[in-house]
Amino acid sequence: MAHDAGGGRAAYPPLAYYAKVTLVVLAVLAGVALFWTARSVWVAVFMGLFLAVGLDPMVRRIQRVVPRRGLAVLVLLLALLVVIGALLYIVLRPAVAELTQLANALPGLVDRLTSPKDPVGSYLNRPEVRDSVQKFLKRLPALVTGSAKPVLGAVGSALSGLVTVGASLVLMIYFMLAWPRMVKHAERLLRDRERVEVAHESLGKIGGYVTGQLCVSVLAGVSAYAFLKIAGVPYPSLLAVVVGVCDFIPQVGATIGAVIGILVALSESIGLAVAAAVFFFVYQHVENYLIVPRVFSKTVALSPVTVFISALVGVTVAGFIGAVVALPCVAAVKVVLRYVFRDRLAALDAA
């Protein structure tokens, strides 16, 4: 039997204490399980809030002309729809034309492949090749049946992703409309004036980054389209969109877009690929040393190592979306940490 220091019996907590601890543990586990089960919902909520915070500076600029918040949000949404519609039209029109060309050329391609006079047709008409093709056709139903489950899983994931994107856009509109009220409630909870200023500064990092990155990416896509169209590189509109989207990824995105453009140019000729490499090399230097410093000088104050590590962590956690949101989130967290450790930082500066 346990005794205390005075020789008496040790005082154990009552059974109600253990019951409360058990209930708390079970509640925490249930909350974690619920959070994990509904993680796609939380992703949609986070993306909707992130986009609303990022587009809020544009809404406030529109409110200088259109004072009402709802009308300002409507104007911004209509402008975004026009831009997205124009981009889709630019990309889909060449794709539909190329698909039509392929459909028209398909009968001639089949005739050429089955003709004994063609090298490929001569090879396909060999007895051993025909036997292999027949055996493959016999196994084809089993292969299709066996691959149906992965294909259905991929289709289900794609549909789930589309639902998440749609939910994010709907929540973005709601958050944009309710943002002033949400800010007022947050200010009442924070109470302290300095904390409110820190919160506004951290949110400003996200808003400034999203707005600035949109401008930088659009400029990169337009510049790439102008060069690719003049140089005669195939699929200039599609490549311009790829370059603009890749430019959202910090550090490595511009390089990925440039490599894709150079490879497509290489399919035409080596000289065209060299010209594309020179263009992307020059443009990236102009973007890194002239455009980006002017756009992000007051928004993101992070070292190159921090930017690179943030992008890697973001890609690991949430893929492309993680890479895009990692940098502004780290910049916002830096503002909060600077406030939390302000006394220590002041002491270090004084020393």
Orientation angle between helical segments 39-62 and 193-231, nearest 10 degrees: 90
On the question of pLDDT at 3 being above 60, the answer is: no
Q: Provide the pLDDT for residue 152.
A: 52
What is the DSSP annotation of 121-139?
HHHHTSHHHHHHHHHHHHH
Higher pLDDT, 346 or 285: 285
The token duo for 156 is 């289900």
Mean pLDDT of 209-217: 81
Cite the beta strand spans of the chain per DSSP E: none
Cite the beta strand spans of 197-315 per DSSP E: none
Whole-number Å distance between alpha carbons of 133 and 139: 10
Whole-number Å distance between alpha carbons of 56 and 76: 10
Higher pLDDT, 200 or 118: 200
Give the confidence band of 133 by pLDDT, cuts at 50, 70, 90: low
Highest mean pLDDT range out of 247-261, 317-331, 337-351?
A: 247-261
Mean pLDDT of 311-315: 76
Dihedral angle of Cα 338, 339, 343, 345, to the nearest 10 degrees: 10
Q: Provide the pLDDT for residue 157.
A: 55
Give the confidence band of 280 by pLDDT, cuts at 50, 70, 90: very high
Q: Provide the pLDDT for residue 130.
A: 66
The whole-model pTM stands at: 0.62
Give the confidence band of 120 by pLDDT, cuts at 50, 70, 90: low
- Give 208's DSSP letter: H
Q: Provide the pLDDT for residue 281.
A: 92
Mean pLDDT of 155-171: 72
Whole-number Å distance between alpha carbons of 114 and 339: 74
Q: Provide the pLDDT for residue 74.
A: 92
Q: Provide the pLDDT for residue 112.
A: 61
Asked whether the beta carbons of 173 and 53 are under 8 A apart, the reply is no
Mean pLDDT of 118-131: 64
CA atoms within 13 A on the CB side of 331: 28
Residues contacting residue 167 through CB under 8 Å, at least 6 positions apart? 41, 44, 48
Q: Provide the pLDDT for residue 144.
A: 53
CA atoms within 13 A on the CB side of 240: 24
For residue range 64-105, list pLDDT tens digits in order: 888 888 899 999 999 888 887 877 777 667 766 756 765 676
On the question of pLDDT at 1 being above 60, the answer is: no
**CA-closest candidate to residue 227, choices 188, 278, 299:** 278
First CA to last CA across the chain, in angstroms? 56
Give the confidence band of 201 by pLDDT, cuts at 50, 70, 90: confident
Asked whether the beta carbons of 249 and 324 are under 8 A apart, the reply is yes
For residue range 234-264, list pLDDT tens digits in order: 778 778 888 888 888 776 788 888 999 898 8
Q: Provide the pLDDT for residue 321.
A: 73
Mean pLDDT of 158-168: 73
On the question of pLDDT at 136 being above 70, the answer is: no
Average pLDDT, the chain: 77
The token duo for 69 is 């918040």
**CA-closest candidate to residue 337, choices 198, 196, 187:** 198
Mean pLDDT of 278-294: 85
Q: How many residues does the chain have?
A: 351
Q: Provide the pLDDT for residue 313.
A: 79
Radius of gyration of the chain (CA): 29
Q: Provide the pLDDT for residue 7.
A: 53
Mapped onto helix, strand or coil, the DSSP state of residue 7 is coil
**CA-closest candidate to residue 322, choices 331, 330, 313:** 313
Q: Provide the pLDDT for residue 189.
A: 82
Q: Provide the pLDDT for residue 282.
A: 92
